[in-house]
Structure 1
Amino acid sequence: MIFTLGELFSGPGGLAKGACNVQIEHEGELFGVNHGWANDIDADSCNTYINNIPNANTENVICQDVKELNIDNLENIDAFAYGFPCNDFSLVGEQKGFNGNYGPLYTYGIKVINRFNPVFFVAENVGGITSANQGNAFRKILHDLENSGDFGYNLTVNLYKSEQYGIPQTRHRIIIVGIRKDHDLLFRVPKPTTPNIKDYVTSSDALENPPISDDASNNELTKQSKLVIERLSHIKPGENVWKEGLPKHLQLNVRGAKLSQIYKKLDPDKPSYTITGSGGGGTHGYHYAENRALTNRERARIQTFPDSYHFFGTKESVRKQIGMAVPVKLAEVVFEAVLKTFAGIDYEFIEPSYEYVNRKLI
């Protein structure tokens, strides 16, 4: 059983790459996922997707605003994925939820499900989505997903902590897996592969094992001012600009909250903090041993993209693509469990973070 995948808000292809990496053979039958079509508004992301995802091309990767996408013209799919924009649900932002520009965009995924009735879907968002609008936004989203399509979907809702699945980053994301109710199957959350702190993959593991080759793409250094280099020289691995004792001329005069990631160096003995796709000075992620920002290839390593994955666009565009993507390895974990569910293969699982019954989160 090979599922054909459609995707909205596809970005550079983190979900798709993870999905297409997984194949399972059981009792003579092959289970896997093939690219069908994808949509994103960002031209550079679409170009990256086309050049890295098998079977993707300029015809089936549609680069335009989802609000203008003609769903009826898309090819038939039996699997669907979307990491709908999370700006209005992020804990770092104002958490506008449905009152923001991005919150309602989840409804376009509902339209796709209503049109194609995929056998399963995977939806991804930030952990902050659970508390936006006093939790009402999340309950509404789950209600709409459960009741979408002609059959409705059995939902499994979990907060995945990436570092517990062998990913060198403390990136925590809500992933909702829905299986069409007429299949009478329920997705189980795969058991973490690295649940203990001592087993976490560290940032130095990611960046040094193996070393990044000299000819690796997207590995250009960012020009740092003398002031930034001097500031970083006073910051130890794992610390940020708010450390005590920083010379006065290197301190930041910023009103309001002191974000912990500002000029924060990675700790070589711990997973990276969350790699982000936007933000000004001090938010680029900083090397533990060198007084500089991370290169995009280093960011991609932390997001578990292979070195062969070439990103298109300017340096800042590539940074945005990488920071907004789903870690490839996390996508692999989820899609492998989905395929095992359909193949009837047992695997170790844990209870989900959220129980959703009769529109109530328990």
Structure 2
Amino acid sequence: MKAISLFSGGGGMDFAARSLGIDVLFANDVIPETELTFASSFPETDFHLEDIRQISKFPSVDLVTGGYPCQSFSLGGNRNPANDPRTFLFKEFARVVDTVKPKYFVAENVSGLKSIQDGNWLKLQLDTYNEIAGVGYNIATAVVNARDYGVPQRRKRVIIVGVRKDLGVYYHFPKPTHAKPDIAAKKGLLPYASHGEAIRHLPLDVPGEYYERPHDPEGNFSWYYMSRNRKASWLEPSYTIVANFRHTTLHPASPTMKLLWSNLADGWKQKWEFSSEYEHLLHDPTLPVLEKPRRLSWREAALIQTFPEGYEPAGKLEKKFEQIGNAVPPMLMRAILQQIVSGEGLLQFPSEHEQYLTVGKQLSLLSEEQDIEPIES
């Protein structure tokens, strides 16, 4: 199979594609560092550092993938899509699909897309894909959580998959392979992957690879940062790896945080401190500890995102985190694409809970807690 990669970023979708034997012929982004990242990781790909709105010629391929900008739909964003020009870049993705008419397309966005303004922005995107002229596409969409597919990270995303109608099949999402330990044992699944174990082999002393606040009177961690529960348990998946290096979560070997006092009603302030306790040692006293707490390094964040060992995005520290945090975890995207490459997810009938046969009717199926197969109730 041959593919076009749009809004390619650090190459999360493209590592997944390549691992399945898909040849990524063409890639595109506007962030200068991504061109250098692709030159290092995908030297065989024709990379275009250019605004997608200015590109009109594309190779003939079987697949188009892309994670168009999500900031206006994110729970951490401004939540005002109509006034953000990036909101409408999905139309460029649709334009490329309409131009190339591949057999399949896969689009990714944040889970907030399904809830903001009652799902109307998601409906607009699906309507746009439904209106692609000519052959038309059978469209499936679902909210997936990366942890359910072996990624050591909690990360919910909306995935939209289109299959050209003349192929006569519908896409079905892969069933989860991982779950909470007690549920996994009952259902024959694997337990969620530990993010602590995913990075345990890396050195703890890595100055310059994580964000610090030098010369700040509040120290390395503001009260607001501390108030947002930044430390996930060693044995569990991490919290979402974000693109902003200031808000990256704590290394799981850091000591436990304690709230000393809170006065949010008068000045919005709290006082936190790190204790001398390490809760992960209760599970295994041989686990490493950080006497001085710190945020995750870019290298650790990349492994938690399931980028391969040795991967290094180009640019300064801030740009490394931006490319890593904005990426689709390769392991998650591999599970999505594997359904196409193997044919296991291409069936002659739609799935009741995944398929947008009529866009308006099906929107209600994307509930906040719905997984592909409800394994938790």
State TM-score, norm by structure 1. Answer: 0.79
Q: Evaluate the alpha carbon distance shift between residue 219 and residue 15 of structure 1 in structure 2; reply closer, same or farther with a 3 A threshold.
A: farther
Q: 1:169 aligns with which of 153, 168, 183?
A: 153
Q: Which residue of 2 aligns with 1:242?
A: none
Q: Which residue of 2 aligns with 1:156?
A: 140
For residue 212 of structure 1, report the CA deviation from its aligned partner: 2.4
1:71 aligned to 2:56?
yes
Q: Note if contact 1:142-1:359 (Cα within 8 Å) is conserved in structure 2.
A: no
For residue 197 of structure 1, report the CA deviation from its aligned partner: 4.4
Q: Which residue of 1 aligns with 2:279?
A: none
Kindly provide the amino acid, as one letter, of the partner of residue 71 in structure 1. Answer: S
Q: Which residue of 2 aligns with 1:108?
A: 92
Structure 2: unaligned runs, 5 residues or longer: 183-190, 254-289, 365-377
User: What SS is found at the alignment partner of 1:301?
Assistant: helix
For residue 40 of structure 1, report the CA deviation from its aligned partner: 0.1
Q: Which residue of 2 aligns with 1:296?
A: 298
User: What SS is found at the alignment partner of 2:41?
Assistant: coil
Q: Which residue of 2 aligns with 1:317?
A: 319
Q: Evaluate the alpha carbon distance shift between residue 303 and residue 149 of structure 1 in structure 2; reply closer, same or farther with a 3 A threshold.
A: farther
1:16 aligned to 2:14?
yes
For residue 148 of structure 1, report the CA deviation from its aligned partner: 1.5
Deviation by residue 1:126-152 (Cα, 9 ceiling, x = unmatched)? 000112233211111111112314211
For residue 307 of structure 1, report the CA deviation from its aligned partner: 1.4
Q: Note if contact 2:108-2:159 (Cα within 8 Å) is conserved in structure 1.
A: yes
Q: Evaluate the alpha carbon distance shift between residue 266 and residue 225 of structure 1 in structure 2; reply closer, same or farther with a 3 A threshold.
A: farther
- What are the residue-to-residue correspondences of 1:112-127 with 2, within 5 Å? 112-127=96-111
Q: Which residue of 1 aligns with 2:248?
A: 284
| Distance in 2, Cα, partners of 1:219 & 1:332 | 31
Q: Evaluate the alpha carbon distance shift between residue 225 and residue 55 of structure 1 in structure 2; reply closer, same or farther with a 3 A threshold.
A: same
State TM-score, norm by structure 2. Answer: 0.76
1:87 aligned to 2:55?
no
Percent sequence identity over aligned pairs = 29
Q: Evaluate the alpha carbon distance shift between residue 161 and residue 185 of structure 1 in structure 2; reply closer, same or farther with a 3 A threshold.
A: same
| Distance in 2, Cα, partners of 1:100 & 1:333 | 32
Q: Note if contact 2:149-2:177 (Cα within 8 Å) is conserved in structure 1.
A: yes
Kindly provide the amino acid, as one letter, of the partner of residue 316 in structure 1. Answer: E
Q: Evaluate the alpha carbon distance shift between residue 52 and residue 345 of structure 1 in structure 2; reply closer, same or farther with a 3 A threshold.
A: farther
Structure 1: unaligned runs, 5 residues or longer: 23-31, 233-249
For residue 225 of structure 1, report the CA deviation from its aligned partner: 4.2
Deviation by residue 1:226-257 (Cα, 9 ceiling, x = unmatched)? 8799777xxxxxxxxxxxxxxxxx745x9xxx
User: What SS is found at the alignment partner of 1:111?
Assistant: helix
Q: Note if contact 2:138-2:170 (Cα within 8 Å) is conserved in structure 1.
A: yes
Kindly provide the amino acid, as one letter, of the partner of residue 327 in structure 1. Answer: P
Q: Note if contact 1:98-1:137 (Cα within 8 Å) is conserved in structure 2.
A: no
| Distance in 1, Cα, partners of 2:12 & 2:71 | 18
- What are the residue-to-residue correspondences of 1:8-47 with 2, within 5 Å? 8-22=6-20, 32-47=21-36
Q: Note if contact 1:189-1:351 (Cα within 8 Å) is conserved in structure 2.
A: no
| Distance in 1, Cα, partners of 2:237 & 2:81 | 29
For residue 157 of structure 1, report the CA deviation from its aligned partner: 0.4
| Distance in 2, Cα, partners of 1:183 & 1:143 | 20
Deviation by residue 1:286-321 (Cα, 9 ceiling, x = unmatched)? 112230111100000110001122211101100100
| Distance in 1, Cα, partners of 2:235 & 2:164 | 42
Q: Which residue of 2 aligns with 1:137?
A: 121
Q: Note if contact 2:5-2:26 (Cα within 8 Å) is conserved in structure 1.
A: yes
For residue 343 of structure 1, report the CA deviation from its aligned partner: 9.2
| Distance in 2, Cα, partners of 1:13 & 1:260 | 29
| Distance in 2, Cα, partners of 1:298 & 1:228 | 27
Q: What count of residue pairs does the alignment treat as equivalent? A: 316
Q: Evaluate the alpha carbon distance shift between residue 64 and residue 344 of structure 1 in structure 2; reply closer, same or farther with a 3 A threshold.
A: closer
Q: Note if contact 1:81-1:121 (Cα within 8 Å) is conserved in structure 2.
A: yes
Query: Which moves more between the two structures, 134-143 or 119-128?
Result: 134-143
For residue 54 of structure 1, report the CA deviation from its aligned partner: 5.9
